[in-house]
Amino acid sequence: MAPPLLILQDIHLHLGTTPLLTGADLAIGAGDRLALVGRNGSGKSTLLRIAAGAVQPEAGSRFLQPGATLRTLPQEPDFGAAATVWEHVEAGLGPADDPHRARWLLAELGLTGEEAPARLSGGEARRAALAQVLAPSPDILLLDEPTNHLDLPAIAWLEAELAQFRGALVLISHDRRFLERLSRAMVWLDRGTTRRLEQGFAGFEAWRDQVLEEEEREAHKLDRKIVREEHWMRYGVTARRKRNMRRVGELAALRQRRREALKATGTVRMAATEAEGSGSLVAQAEGLSKSFGGVPVVHDFSTRILRRDRVGIVGPNGAGKTTLLNLLTGALAPDAGTVRLGTGLAMVTLDQKRESLDPALSLQAVLTGGSGDQVEVGGQRRHVIGYMKDFLFLPDQARTAVGVLSGGERGRLMLARALARPSNLLVLDEPTNDLDLETLDLLEELLAEYQGTVLVVSHDRDFLDRVCTSVIVSEGEGRWQEYAGGYADMVAQRGRGVEAKPLAAPERPAARASEPAAAPAAKRKLSFRQQHALEALPGRMAALEKEIGTLRTALAVPDLYARDRARFERFTAALGEKEAALAAAEEEWLELELLREEIEAG
């Protein structure tokens, strides 16, 4: 067995006077696919920076094999003094690296390289940073929240690119689907130390819960007194997860109601129903259209949203998701069509940029408005400490300054503040950014128990599957279509996921008189990625067909449901995913094959 490329042993580090890492270990071997997971504030990003050599630990050792190359994608890309994106990407290339690959990566990610870093959006900055770390094909690639600010097509592209990556990969991510598809081993950072599981993310949560349950049993055996708040912090989320079966049943009932409502409306045009009970109709839109600069963003869209619906809005960046959200909530006037809002709506909005938080204020001051120790939640007064615990904060964090909280903790605090306000309509624009897995569980639980209506824009496929009763997806050119169920249900009905928005060809500068005439255009051909997909898809389709056959055979056992219901449900869910993946692969292969024939014919 080859020795590890990088080893961290017995790493110790304090954050002020608080111990952050207390004996953490990490070993990265050639070809490893590791996911590093842990609570917000547990030190995951710090451990990754120590692995990269950017932070020195107070104690412990770091060893990197001589000659091994390493690249790191931080949460916040730093472009330094680079005047253009290309300068930034080029700065990451070594003498033996191929600049043509860097150019190809930029093109695949929708960038020209001429963009000024200061003018990049969050998603564009993330793409530029990805191009810089992927271009050299390093031996070790460390990625901290690589899917943040990326849309669904970019996430799918990144998954495919990393699946082909030959080096070692270490991921920090809150995206469950992303982790499931790329990880082969897990490193859990908990209370300053690390544990390793030689399985992918699919087996992690059950293993983690088992470890915590064993710890709890051992604590009782030794008659140790577990501090009440710490006990809740460690085991509370596990207890919440055990109630998931009830939540799944309720979500299925809501989805069925939404499916029937969509069937009842027929096409996108609907007649107003005046017999609705007070408050049961949240919004009714008919023939909505909105354009900017002559470009249609929403065209002739109609829908009806009822109380307790959970509606997801998905599409590539620039498709107009936020515009549609603003139209449906009355925040933006349409060019054509009408929106009728229900009576008695109390709306709370959490937008992409989030509300500003004064870094000098304490957590308690943010939640109470700086007055006393009580917070009003749902019309009732609660002590701020009890409310903080609902959002996984410890009591001694009440006087902690906002400025020292991690990004995920600040996101959790903003959610706590927004959800404390009286509402019956929640409008959430990218609520999952920077949240850890446990906080996502908490948010899903809160939304499941919420008696109002939820409109959510998100690129997190697993979150959409766990929360939404229907999904509105961009079909391009301003057209939007609603599908019952979550993201996977939409893919199964539509036959494909969200595709990238076509990019406009960049304008070429006018040629100077002294310059020679432009050379004839190169013959059109498939891109490298398209050619690779065309060659790889038949094998993938064959593998999927084999897996589908195996699952169908297993489900055909007569007494499987009665004997092992959990296994039956797991196989059924897996079958649905495989069939959806096969349909998407067949559609992609057909499109590429038609394109190839068109190119060869022309």
What phi and psi values does residue 513 have, to the nearest 5 degrees?
Answer: -60, -30
What was the pLDDT predicted at 302? Answer: 94
Q: Stretch 196-224: mean pLDDT, rounded?
A: 80
Structure tokens at 489: 């249900």
What was the pLDDT predicted at 543? Answer: 83
Assigned CATH class of 247-494: alpha beta
Q: Is the pLDDT of residue 130 over 90?
A: yes
Rg, Å, the chain Cα set: 26
What was the pLDDT predicted at 522? Answer: 42
Of 216 and 113, more confident? 113
Q: Which DSSP string corresponds to 133-177?
A: HHTT--SEEEEESTTTT--HHHHHHHHHHHHH--SEEEEE-S-HH
Structure tokens at 338: 């009408």
CA-wise closest residue to 458 among 129, 246, 180, 151:
151
What was the pLDDT predicted at 528? Answer: 65
**How many other C-beta atoms are found inside a 10 Å radius of the C-beta of residue 435?**
22
Structure tokens at 299: 């065209």
Of 378 and 544, more confident? 544
In the structure, what pLDDT confidence band is assigned to residue 400 with cuts at 50, 70 and 90?
Answer: confident
Of 308 and 269, more confident? 308
Q: Could you tell me if 596 and 526 are in contact, meaning their C-beta atoms sit under 8 angstroms apart?
A: yes
What was the pLDDT predicted at 508? Answer: 34
**Lowest-pLDDT range of 102-116, 218-232, 451-465, 549-563:** 218-232
Q: Is the pLDDT of residue 128 over 80?
A: yes
**How many other C-beta atoms are found inside a 10 Å radius of the C-beta of residue 112?**
13
Structure tokens at 166: 């030959």
CA-wise closest residue to 52 among 35, 69, 76:
69
Reported in sequence order, the residue ranges of 438-538 that DSSP labels E, i.e. its strands, are 453-457, 470-476, 479-484
First vs last C-alpha separation in the chain:
52
Q: Is the pLDDT of residue 353 over 60?
A: no
Q: Where are the domains of the chain?
A: 6-209, 247-494, 528-601
Structure tokens at 355: 């509300």
**Lowest-pLDDT range of 255-269, 326-340, 414-428, 523-537:** 255-269
Using DSSP, how many helices (H) and how many strands (E) does the chain show? 19, 20
Q: State which amino acid sits at residue 284.
A: Q
Residue range 164-207, pLDDT digits in tens:
999 999 999 989 999 999 999 999 999 899 999 999 998 998 89
**Lowest-pLDDT range of 129-143, 312-326, 376-390, 450-464:** 376-390
In the structure, what pLDDT confidence band is assigned to residue 231 with cuts at 50, 70 and 90?
Answer: low
| Positive or negative: CA dihedral 400, 404, 408, 414 | positive
Q: Stretch 399-417: mean pLDDT, rounded?
A: 79
Q: Is the pLDDT of residue 523 over 50?
A: no
What DSSP state is assigned to residue 421? S
Q: State which amino acid sits at residue 251.
A: L
In the structure, what pLDDT confidence band is assigned to residue 298 with cuts at 50, 70 and 90?
Answer: very high
Structure tokens at 331: 């925040």
What was the pLDDT predicted at 500? Answer: 64
Residue range 418-466, pLDDT digits in tens:
778 778 888 988 888 777 787 788 788 888 888 889 999 988 999 999 8
Residue range 184-196, pLDDT digits in tens:
999 999 989 999 9
CA-wise closest residue to 126 among 158, 94, 101:
158
In the structure, what pLDDT confidence band is assigned to residue 269 with cuts at 50, 70 and 90?
Answer: very low
d(CA 133, CA 436): 24
Q: Is the pLDDT of residue 236 over 90?
A: no
Helices (H), 373-432: 384-390, 407-420
Q: Is the pLDDT of residue 321 over 80?
A: yes
Q: Stretch 133-162: mean pLDDT, rounded?
A: 92
CATH 3.40.50.720 for the 6-209 domain, yes or no: no
Q: Could you tell me if 303 and 334 are in contact, meaning their C-beta atoms sit under 8 angstroms apart?
A: no
What phi and psi values does residue 77 have, to the nearest 5 degrees?
Answer: -60, 140
| Residue 202 three-state SS | helix
Of 243 and 384, more confident? 384
Looking at the chain, the whole-number percentage of residues with pLDDT higher than 70 is: 82
b/e string for 117-145 if b means 16 or more Cβ within 10 A? beebebbbbbbbbbbbbbbbebbbbbbbb
What was the pLDDT predicted at 271? Answer: 27
In the structure, what pLDDT confidence band is assigned to residue 24 with cuts at 50, 70 and 90?
Answer: very high
Q: Which DSSP string corresponds to 467-488?
A: H-SEEEEEEETTEEEEEESSHH
Q: Is the pLDDT of residue 514 over 70?
A: no
Domains 6-209 and 528-601 share a fold: no
d(CA 297, CA 245): 39
Q: Is the pLDDT of residue 494 over 50?
A: yes
In the structure, what pLDDT confidence band is assigned to residue 270 with cuts at 50, 70 and 90?
Answer: very low
What DSSP state is assigned to residue 401? B
Task: Count CA atoms within 13 Å of residue 257 on its CB side.
Answer: 16
Most confident of the following: 350-364, 455-469, 506-520:
455-469
Looking at the chain, the whole-number percentage of residues with pLDDT higher than 90 is: 35
Structure tokens at 188: 């859990």
d(CA 479, CA 473): 9
What was the pLDDT predicted at 213? Answer: 82
CA-wise closest residue to 485 among 253, 316, 280:
253
Q: Which DSSP string corresponds to 59-97?
A: EEEEEE-TT--EEEE-SS---TT-SSHHHHHHHT--TTS
In the structure, what pLDDT confidence band is assigned to residue 393 with cuts at 50, 70 and 90?
Answer: confident
**How many other C-beta atoms are found inside a 10 Å radius of the C-beta of residue 330?**
14
Q: Which DSSP string corresponds to 297-317?
A: EEEEEEEEEETT-EEEEE--T
Residue range 70-81, pLDDT digits in tens:
999 998 888 988
**Residue bearing tokens 């929640």:** 426
CATH of 528-601, one of 3.40.50, 1.10.1060, 1.10.287, 1.10.260: 1.10.287
CA-wise closest residue to 362 among 416, 405, 408, 415:
405
Residue range 336-349, pLDDT digits in tens:
999 999 888 888 88
d(CA 356, CA 358): 7
pTM: 0.68
What was the pLDDT predicted at 455? Answer: 94
Q: Is the pLDDT of residue 482 over 70?
A: yes
